[in-house]
Amino acid sequence: MKLSKELIEKSKEPFISELENYINSDVELIVKVKSKRLLENKNGKRYLLITFEDKTGILRAIDWFNAEKNNSKVDVGNVVRVNGKIVLYDGRLQLNIPQDSNLIVLNENEYSYERFVSESKIPVDEIISKLFEIIESIRNKELKQLLEEIFKNDEELFNKFKNSPAGLKVHHNYIGGLAEHSITVAKMCDNVAKIYPWLDRDLLITGALLHDIGKIYDYEINSKGIEITQTGELIGHIVMGYEIVNEKIKKLNLRGISEKLLHMILSHHGELEWGSPILPKTPEAFVLHMIENLDSKLNRIQNIKEKELETNPNKKWSDFDPNLGRRLLLKHTERG
Amino acid sequence: MKLSKELIEKSKEPFISELENYINSDVELIVKVKSKRLLENKNGKRYLLITFEDKTGILRAIDWFNAEKNNSKVDVGNVVRVNGKIVLYDGRLQLNIPQDSNLIVLNENEYSYERFVSESKIPVDEIISKLFEIIESIRNKELKQLLEEIFKNDEELFNKFKNSPAGLKVHHNYIGGLAEHSITVAKMCDNVAKIYPWLDRDLLITGALLHDIGKIYDYEINSKGIEITQTGELIGHIVMGYEIVNEKIKKLNLRGISEKLLHMILSHHGELEWGSPILPKTPEAFVLHMIENLDSKLNRIQNIKEKELETNPNKKWSDFDPNLGRRLLLKHTERG
Amino acid sequence: MKLSKELIEKSKEPFISELENYINSDVELIVKVKSKRLLENKNGKRYLLITFEDKTGILRAIDWFNAEKNNSKVDVGNVVRVNGKIVLYDGRLQLNIPQDSNLIVLNENEYSYERFVSESKIPVDEIISKLFEIIESIRNKELKQLLEEIFKNDEELFNKFKNSPAGLKVHHNYIGGLAEHSITVAKMCDNVAKIYPWLDRDLLITGALLHDIGKIYDYEINSKGIEITQTGELIGHIVMGYEIVNEKIKKLNLRGISEKLLHMILSHHGELEWGSPILPKTPEAFVLHMIENLDSKLNRIQNIKEKELETNPNKKWSDFDPNLGRRLLLKHTERG
Amino acid sequence: MKLSKELIEKSKEPFISELENYINSDVELIVKVKSKRLLENKNGKRYLLITFEDKTGILRAIDWFNAEKNNSKVDVGNVVRVNGKIVLYDGRLQLNIPQDSNLIVLNENEYSYERFVSESKIPVDEIISKLFEIIESIRNKELKQLLEEIFKNDEELFNKFKNSPAGLKVHHNYIGGLAEHSITVAKMCDNVAKIYPWLDRDLLITGALLHDIGKIYDYEINSKGIEITQTGELIGHIVMGYEIVNEKIKKLNLRGISEKLLHMILSHHGELEWGSPILPKTPEAFVLHMIENLDSKLNRIQNIKEKELETNPNKKWSDFDPNLGRRLLLKHTERG
Amino acid sequence: MKLSKELIEKSKEPFISELENYINSDVELIVKVKSKRLLENKNGKRYLLITFEDKTGILRAIDWFNAEKNNSKVDVGNVVRVNGKIVLYDGRLQLNIPQDSNLIVLNENEYSYERFVSESKIPVDEIISKLFEIIESIRNKELKQLLEEIFKNDEELFNKFKNSPAGLKVHHNYIGGLAEHSITVAKMCDNVAKIYPWLDRDLLITGALLHDIGKIYDYEINSKGIEITQTGELIGHIVMGYEIVNEKIKKLNLRGISEKLLHMILSHHGELEWGSPILPKTPEAFVLHMIENLDSKLNRIQNIKEKELETNPNKKWSDFDPNLGRRLLLKHTERG
Amino acid sequence: MKLSKELIEKSKEPFISELENYINSDVELIVKVKSKRLLENKNGKRYLLITFEDKTGILRAIDWFNAEKNNSKVDVGNVVRVNGKIVLYDGRLQLNIPQDSNLIVLNENEYSYERFVSESKIPVDEIISKLFEIIESIRNKELKQLLEEIFKNDEELFNKFKNSPAGLKVHHNYIGGLAEHSITVAKMCDNVAKIYPWLDRDLLITGALLHDIGKIYDYEINSKGIEITQTGELIGHIVMGYEIVNEKIKKLNLRGISEKLLHMILSHHGELEWGSPILPKTPEAFVLHMIENLDSKLNRIQNIKEKELETNPNKKWSDFDPNLGRRLLLKHTERG
């Protein structure tokens, strides 16, 4: 993952999730326009309704004073600086834009992208400490040495790993997503190895931790959110992951690590048509593929449920999800 | 699973796996002809080489005295009563058929099918005690009541469950396979529920234990081994499982059990083209499908590895497996 | 099919199809907004063009007086009460909305859903009388008894059957569609049985009448039109149909009815990927699937032709139909 | 269909189906070797068991005198001249080959292929008279004129039509199969047109009668049975059918026959992947495709049932049929 | 290809590509509205921004005087007559619409379609002269005679060939596209025949020149651009091409031309699911299919690159192309 | 490609293709048993008919003296040393095995594998000289430097390249096949670049020469012929090719070579389901894939034609080829 700019945020504007501490106060916000609508009340008075968002949530705003002017000033997707008063209306927070408001569209260099890219909900320290705990449990010396090289000694690599998402849209599409996904898959694989003791646990867990490492070159974060890089499009994370791990093995001269580890990286998508150049041909490669798939799907399902219920807590069925090819049950009715 | 005959074995003939206790003794065996070959030694003398099998293993036999006669007497697939001496030859046990041998082809009613159908390697008591332990851990009262009705109170159902295979060819195709598969899937699902605590653990585990219950009507054991029944071909275990569980719910009037449980049974094949009439639409149904699939695949992989290495301990790659669509790595070479 | 509300219509407002009797009269209508457009004539005067619809047709309306106000009052999809004068304009009926019009958006409880859900064009009595005639022709006593139980004795079931659609979008998606489809398929199957006399006619026709019976639990009619129920999403009509018929067979103790009938219900979609958990394995199941498919397709084709030609009687090709995967010829040009 | 040789049979040898009139008589037969087996009875005497076949049935033969010599003389697939006595054994006819038998393998020019290619079970006159009856019922003058040109006036074409099979292996793979298939499809289409009166009946029936006409160039009958011709492989019956009908329309200058008829021929396989260069885009083309498919499937199912039950009248399930992708139920077990 | 109207253009209005000769002059143009947007400048003044197009390019226009009036006068897709002054603004040509502008929407009969349908960038004379050169190189007399009949003697056919596009959307979708495609494929096939000298070069090149000849009946050019004809939808260019060439062979009685040529036309789409009724079964048919496919793809890729870079010369990746199923690299970044 | 043993052939036994120089002479041969049959002549005398093969052809042998003994001595697939007299019989060469023959089955270390693995028909020098000519024509200095490093400076790599096959079964499955394939694809790509001058010729040709370089690690030649290696199964030639070229670029620090070259290697199978982890996204990658595919198919077609016609020069159609999914026309019949 290439951070195309330094994500240093100097400004002190609060995030949307912090606004419950500002009720009835004036604030200045840096937010993105998610949608807008120019409306007319029963008396024929025009007003502008905007939904703002940042990575922490969404906020409804209303402008009774400069509706038409501000409407023609901003487009959906613009990042703006806006001031106003936070009020509680209809059970939700709302920003009232005042008559003397100064709504300004910002250029890309006037704000930090980080405001608009989500992060893993699990604190990064917690993820990393779990990672080190897993590495500690590996008994195979060469596999452990390899993991320590990648996750401890090569600081640049490790920093990229911590900040990378594991997806563009479908799953773990937020900063820290790659680490979260890798550790969860490793934990699940550890459980699987307990139930099928004939599996090579150390190999399985090492493969789990490294399977998506190539994704650090797949994505960059910029003003449009997460975008796929040229390397992501032309080479892809599966081959990049192979290259990273293969070079470390060669550098450390770990002659005891067999092709089975690299095979797990190459085959973890499970089927050729899902982008693996080779099918899984060892039990550990099979398990990695299936567990990885399970975690991806559950992460997606969890996201869909949360987003849909956030919008409408009584919704019974999600919208059709083109990635899963179905609607999901959100709340069920008892048979009764 | 319909046991088409009582599988009561009166005879005392030893199984092949017990023959290491009979070296240099005369034995009488009931075995099936797996393959045979009429050969000629360098001196032009004809001899008959037969491979016998029962559910516990395979045995090489040689007949130097009545090669042609016995060759025309038996066909591959016949079950025979045969006597001879057990010797150690070339590091393996072998049956030497004597000149006065009395090789007799048996009719279906002259032996027990049970001799030729494999059983789970895990003792049935162990499986069942794990099953009751899992049921004990369920907190939802109605789900627990349902499981106890099926696995404790309905003795006929439970007996069928204990003896049923979970497959014809692909996986768990032996007596006790259904119970072994159901319990393993439930244990894995329990682990998954620990990692994703937002899942409904009790629902997930109940679905895991019941998902293949309809297979008790899918198979019958007869002289040809495991065969699919008319019900298996015309209705199928997915719908039979739905029917069994649905009727128990109605009988016990368990109004708190929602359609989500029945949905898990119907959708556990995961895709329409794999025979589920409905796609998984709840997180628990997704998990059940994916874990069930993982256990089936691992059981098949384990079986392939064992069988291929039993035949040839140095084999590096399995034969092409049409069900998995690939060859499997049996023993790897170090990169060195 | 669950009628989520009583569909009792008290009001006397005419349907759109009845308006040809009201030319140059003032009417009050309850209609749904299908589309609307705020326009300007050459003199710069704004007017509002609305297309209204109910289950009987579509109606063009024009508002020269309160264009902007009414435009901001209604959204596409709203059900409204509106008054005005019916005139003939450009060869079609049109509603002129007067200056003192009182266009009111109605809440769900202020009108009957029935106004907006189509019905079979064949009168229900005609369908039902044909149904009884077919049942009368069955010679197999148990099959006849089963049909009479479902279509005569179980009044609740029969009422649902009469009112249910057989589809959401693709075919027979109107009240009475299930009955119409079932009877047409049965008539066709009767013809097939005449041409292939070795088929079991009674079995075939019974399967034809019952194959979609589970759809009575698949759909509900509400303010959004026809919607799929939770049972429809989680269980599906194929398994529900199996359950209904299986329970009736058990209740009546019809031991002569074989698994072949239930097999026909389960396999009538013909392929696993179309949602049948089992493939057709009897000639009657094959015929039912293929005839059922033919009737569904012809119903869809007929609907497309009618709707497209209603809108534009000179159109030569339909729009691309995503369900059929092609355009359909509406009117052909002679070669000559 | 190209008859690669004159199929004139001069010899008077009886067909297998006629042998019940020859019990205990000596006969001379021209038959094909379907299978053979060299066996040994309990006394060690070798005998040869052969199954012969011709287009009318199969016949078991036994040779106690020259078992080894005759075994090495004939191969499976050879056509032979053989004499012997017809006896009734075990409820079936059997040929006993005498000591002085003269078993001769024939060359291709020493017998007529016709002996070994099946014919439709429906007498050709019956098929043809039904054909003319259908043509008579057509009201559209140009369509009728076209059909009369093809089926009455063009004698060469009509003779080919009468003798052609409609398939190689899958369905109607016998002399007269094309005519039988075409007429049955037309009868079914006539029935469909009665139920959906908005269909163009005359067009539909004309398409039904002509849809496979190109098959007269697809097959030739030779010593190997039915074989596909070079034209069949390089051009195919769909385009040949188009060409035949198109040239007749041009020759007769039938300007009222639209492209819809030719479209039906081109699209009757229903899907591109089944070899139609164009999808059905008219209701009549849809119906033709689906009815044609139904008749093909039913013919295949009927053949499988007859052949399997002929061999084993108690068989419950057919072998797996690769064309249908499943086993078929032959005889069902009652539930009760 | 049916030219539904004479494409004679009397008017002298310049094409967009000629406007660089008119900078600072007043012009009158006939152009199509590609997009429009009613905007407001910072002072609240409304202006209308229109993008016009003809077959030679696109042109930005601005109207400061009658923004609202003209906005309500034209719709996207309208062809208009408009006058104004050509200026250079921001490095691009722009049309300034004056206060007394007379923007008129034209009816279909008031302009020539030709203005809006692209043409091959290669001059037609160049294409044709290359065609004759290729024909001249054919040594097989009958194939040469066939080509001369089609491309020289049958003037009507040849004219259609010269003016026909080879596609609707995907590739060579402009006047002259068919000829350009056919000649390029023939040139490539000539090269292939040099590398594999065992191929029949004359047959291959003849097939290349004739493979898409049926497209002359697939398309018509009208006010909506290129549209598919009824013949194109119901019969298709593959069968039409077969018919054209087959009739010429019969007419000229070219008995030495084998079915292999017609087979190449029928099989050139390469797979049944791509609309060929027959698979390629000769080496020449394989080559034609693969080379034809290569030229189609390269033409599409070239068009995408040109159009995307014309709009935005710095774009790195094309939009997702549904036909190719991917994005294309437009400008790459060095690895550095 | 790993040559698992030194392929040094000391022995002087002639190859089958050289036997026309030995007619009526006694020879000693090292050959493989392709098939054998124990037969009986009319007088009841048994003889043994064997077909031998080496990489240069097939040879019929007959043994009238020790038929049964030698039959039981050898199995199909054995490599044997055999002596006898070469005679001309029925227009073909034949080996007559004498009474005192000494037919010996050889162990793997008693002969050279090379005798049984085919080689390219094009002499290796010719291929290599063409390779250097192509490299010479590259103008881009870095690409040229890369090619010279791989094909000139790294001798070990180059030797492997010269001896490697490019396939196991489907195409170029002989020693030198990789070089032959790579050069032919490069020549074709050169031609394509002439016709589409906007392509990057140097990049295209470099990609063509290197696309399959990873195959040097995919295969090994041993007693079973060509076998896939562990690296071939677990990593595959696409990723190995990426690794080889990537390391050379890094070693030489060729910073001007962009990811587009590596992308061509990764995407040259064209579709994910054919094993490319990434789709072609540049024009050069598209061309490489399509040309590479064309050469593979033509090589396979050429091989099938040669082999089938060698066996039967009058055969009209090849056997069904499962890889191509069809039969191929071998010799056509004229229409005339």
First to last CA, chain E: 51
Check whether residue D182 and residue D94 sit in a common domain. Answer: no
What distance in Å separates residue B13's CA from the closest CA in chain D?
28
CA distance A81 to chain F (A): 39
Inform me whether the C-beta atom of residue A272 falls under 8 Å from chain B C-beta atoms.
Answer: no
For helices E283-311 and E259-267, give the axis angle rounded to 10 degrees: 30
For chain A, say whether C8 makes contact (Cβ under 8 Å): no
Following DSSP, what letter does each residue of F236-292 receive, concatenated? Answer: -HHHHHHHHHHHHHHHHT-TT--HHHHHHHHHTT-SGGGT-SS---SHHHHHHHHHH
User: Whose structure tokens read 């076998």?
Assistant: F227
- Cα separations in angstroms, C32 against A85, B77, C103: 40, 73, 12
Q: Residue B5 pLDDT more than 60?
A: no
Nearest chain E residue to A234, by CA:
E329
- A70 and A133 assigned to the same domain: no
In angstroms, the CA F59 to CA F19 distance is 9
Closest residue in F to E186 (Cα) is F195
- Contact predicate E30/E111, CB 8 Å: yes
Q: What is the Cα–Cα distance from F131 to C250, expressed in whole angstroms?
A: 80
- The residue among A115, A141, A175 that closes a domain is A115
Q: D40 CB contacts (<8 Å, ≥6 apart)?
A: B72, D46, D47
What percent of chain F shows pLDDT beyond 70?
96
Question: Sign of the C-alpha dihedral, residues D106, D111, D114, D115?
Answer: negative
A274/F277 Cβ within 8 A: no
DSSP state of B326: B
**Using CB atoms, which residue from A234, A239, A281 is nearest to F234?**
A281
Q: Which of A30, A73, A29, A34 is nearest to A50 (CA)?
A: A34
Residues F136 and F230 in one domain: yes
pLDDT of residue C145 exceeding 90, the answer is: yes
- Residue F12 tokens read as 């002087």
Whether residue A231 is found in the same domain as residue A176: yes
Helix residue spans in chain A (DSSP H): 67-73, 124-136, 141-148, 155-163, 177-195, 201-210, 230-234, 237-252, 259-267, 283-311
pTM of the shown model = 0.87
Q: Do B230 and D329 touch (CB under 8 A)?
A: yes
Q: Residue C91: count other Cβ atoms within 10 Å of its Cβ.
A: 5
Closest by CA to A243, choosing from A218, A219, A213, is: A213
C151-C156-C158 Cα angle (round to 5): 25
Number of residues that make up chain B: 336
Q: How far is F285 from chain A, CA to nearest CA, in Å?
A: 10
B225 bridge partner residues: B222
Task: For residue range D249-287, list pLDDT tens digits in order.
Answer: 999 999 999 899 999 999 999 999 999 999 999 999 999
Asked if the Cβ–Cβ distance from C333 to E230 is below 8 Å, we say yes
- The mean per-residue pLDDT over the stretch C285-300 comes to 96
CA-to-CA separations, C275 to B274, C265, D239, in angstroms, rounded: 10, 12, 35
Picking from A62, A97, A115, the residue at the C-terminal end of a domain is A115
Indicate yes or no: CB of C230 within 8 angstroms of CB of A333. Answer: yes
Is B101 inside a domain boundary? yes
Question: Are residues A144 and A165 located together in one domain of the fold?
Answer: yes
Query: Are the C-beta atoms of C166 and C215 separated by less than 8 Å?
Result: yes
Mutation choice for C interface testing from D199, D245, D281 by most C CBs within 10 A: D281
Cβ distance F197 to F138 under 8 Å?
no
Mutation to test the B interface, candidates C229, C234, C268, most B Cβ within 10 Å? C234
Domain boundary among B83, B115, B147: B115
| Distance in Å, alpha carbon of F21 to nearest chain E alpha carbon | 29
C234-245 pLDDT, tens digit per residue, is 999 999 999 999
Question: E44: domain range?
Answer: 8-115
Nearest-angstrom CA–CA distance, E99 and E67: 10
C40 chain-E contacts, CB cut-off 8 A: 72
Judged by a CB distance cut-off of 8 A, whether residue C105 touches chain D is no
- From the CA of A318, how many Å to the nearest CA of chain F? 31
Q: A–C: how many Cβ contacts below 8 A?
A: 12
- Residue C268: give its domain's CATH number: 1.10.3210
- Secondary structure letter of residue A207 according to DSSP: H
C69 contacts chain A (CB < 8 A): yes
A273 touches chain E (CB under 8 A): no
Nearest-10 Cα torsion for E298, E302, E308, E310 = 180
| All partners of chain B with 3 or more CB pairs under 8 angstroms | A, C, D, F
Query: Is C183 inside any structural domain?
Result: yes
Q: Return the beta strands (E) in chain D as ranges.
A: 2-3, 26-40, 46-54, 57-63, 79-89, 92-97, 104-105, 219-222, 225-228
Minimal Cβ distance to A317: which of C69, C72, C233: C233
Q: How far apart are CA A29 and CA A54, in angstroms?
A: 10
Q: What are phi and psi of C219, to 5 degrees?
A: -125, 150
pLDDT-derived band at D169, boundaries 50, 70, 90: confident
* Separation CA B14–CA B82 (nearest Å): 12
Nearest CA among C113, C260, C145 for reference residue B235? C260
pLDDT for position B2: 53
Residues in chain E: 336
- Same structural domain, A102 and A124: no
Same domain, yes or no, for D258 and D188? yes
Among D90, D21, D92, which residue's Cα sits nearest to residue D52?
D92
**Residue in chain D nearest E279 by alpha carbon:** D234
DSSP string, B71-94: HHH--TT-EEEEEEEEEEETTEEE
Distance CA C137, CA C15 (A): 39
- Could you tell me whether strands E26-40 and E79-89 are parallel, antiparallel, or unpaired per DSSP bridges? antiparallel
Nearest to F289 by CA among F169, F202, F188, F147: F188
Q: What is the pLDDT of residues B145-169, one digit of tens each?
A: 999 999 999 999 999 999 999 988 7
A329 lies in some domain: no
Contact C188 D192 (CB under 8 A): yes
Interface test with F, best of D75, D222, D233, D235 (most F CBs within 10 A): D233
CB spacing of B192 vs A192 below 8 angstroms: no
Residue E315 lies in a domain: no
Q: Are residues D75 and D184 in the same domain?
A: no
B122 and B111 in a common domain: no
Distance CA F29, CA B328 (A): 38
Would you say residue E314 lies in a domain?
Answer: no
Is the pLDDT assigned to residue B253 strictly greater than 80?
yes
A39 touches chain C (CB under 8 A): yes
Mean pLDDT, chain A cut into blocks of 10 residues (336 residues total): 45 84 92 87 82 88 91 87 91 90 85 83 91 97 97 96 88 90 97 96 98 96 85 97 97 94 98 95 98 96 88 88 93 74
Sign of the dihedral defined by the CA atoms of residues D188, D189, D190, D196, in that order: positive
Domain annotation covers residue F262: yes
With beta carbons under 8 A apart, name residues in chain A contacting B271.
none
Res. C10: pLDDT tops 50: no
How far is the C-alpha of E138 from the C-alpha of E58, rounded, in Å?
Answer: 43
Cα dihedral A312→A316→A322→A326 (10° resolution): 170
Suggest the residue from A41, A45, A317 to mutate for an interface test with chain C (most C CBs closer than 10 A). Answer: A317
E235 and D259 in contact by Cβ < 8 A?
yes
Nearest to C290 among D294, D305, D327 (CB): D294
Same domain, C94 and C128: no
Residue among B281, B332, B333 minimizing CB distance to A329: B281
User: Which pLDDT score is estimated for A335?
Assistant: 59
**Residue D238, number of CB atoms within 10 A of its CB:** 26
Q: Does B163 touch chain A (CB under 8 A)?
A: no
Q: Is residue B310 part of a domain?
A: no
Q: CB distance F316–D230 less than 8 Å?
A: yes
How many domains are there within chain A?
2
Contact D188 C191 (CB under 8 A): yes
Beta pairing partners, B32: B53, B79
- Restricting to E residues 280-319, those with a Cβ less than 8 Å away from any Cβ of D are 281-282
pLDDT at C116: 85
The residues of chain E scoring below 50 in pLDDT are: 3-10, 336
Which member of D191, D291, D332 has the closest CB to residue C258? D332
Residue C222: CB partners within 8 Å, gap ≥ 6? C4, C5, C113
**Tokens linked to C150:** 């479902």
Alpha-carbon distance B207 to nearest alpha carbon in chain C (angstroms): 14
Instruction: Spell out, as residue ranges, where chain F has pLDDT lower than 50.
Output: 3-10, 336
Q: If DSSP codes are grouped into helix, strand and coil, which group holds residue F30?
A: strand
Q: What is the CATH number of the domain that holds B72?
A: 2.40.50.140
- CB pairs B-C closer than 8 Å: 72
Structure tokens at B82: 């045969």
Residue type (1 letter), D177: G
- DSSP code of C152? I
What DSSP character marks residue C331? S
Residues of B in contact with D39 (CB under 8 A): 72
Cβ–Cβ contact C45 with D under 8 A: no
Question: Is F38 part of a structural domain of the chain?
Answer: yes
Question: Mutating which of C217, C231, C235, C268 best tests the B interface, going by the most B Cβ atoms within 10 A?
Answer: C235
Percentage of chain E with pLDDT > 70?
96
Interface contact flag, D317 B233, Cβ < 8 Å = yes
Give residue A169's pLDDT.
77
pLDDT at position A334 is: 74
Angle between helix axes B237-252 and B141-148 (nearest 10 degrees) is 110
Query: Which residues of chain C form beta strands (DSSP E)?
Result: 2-3, 26-40, 46-54, 57-63, 79-89, 92-97, 104-105, 219-222, 225-228
Q: What is the DSSP letter of D44?
A: S
User: How many whole angstroms separate alpha carbon B60 and alpha carbon B40?
Assistant: 17
Distance CA B202, CA B222 (A): 37
- pLDDT averaged over chain C? 90
- Whether chains A and C touch (3+ CB pairs under 8 A) is answered by yes
CB A166 within 8 A of CB A292: no
Mean pLDDT score, C196-222: 96
Q: Say yes or no: C133 and C152 in one domain.
A: yes
Of the candidates D136, D162, D130, the residue with the CA atom closest to the CA atom of residue D148: D136
d(CA A254, CA A206): 14
Q: Phi first, then psi: give them for residue E129, nearest 5 degrees.
A: -65, -35
This model of the complex carries an ipTM of 0.84
Output the pLDDT for position A261: 98
A22 and A138 belong to one structural domain: no
Contacts of F40 in chain D (CB under 8 A): 72
Interface contact D316-B72, CB threshold 8 A:
no
Q: CA A196, CA A47: separation in Å to the nearest integer? A: 64
Query: Which of E72, E169, E235 should one mutate to test binding to chain C, selecting the residue with the greatest count of C CBs within 10 A?
Result: E72
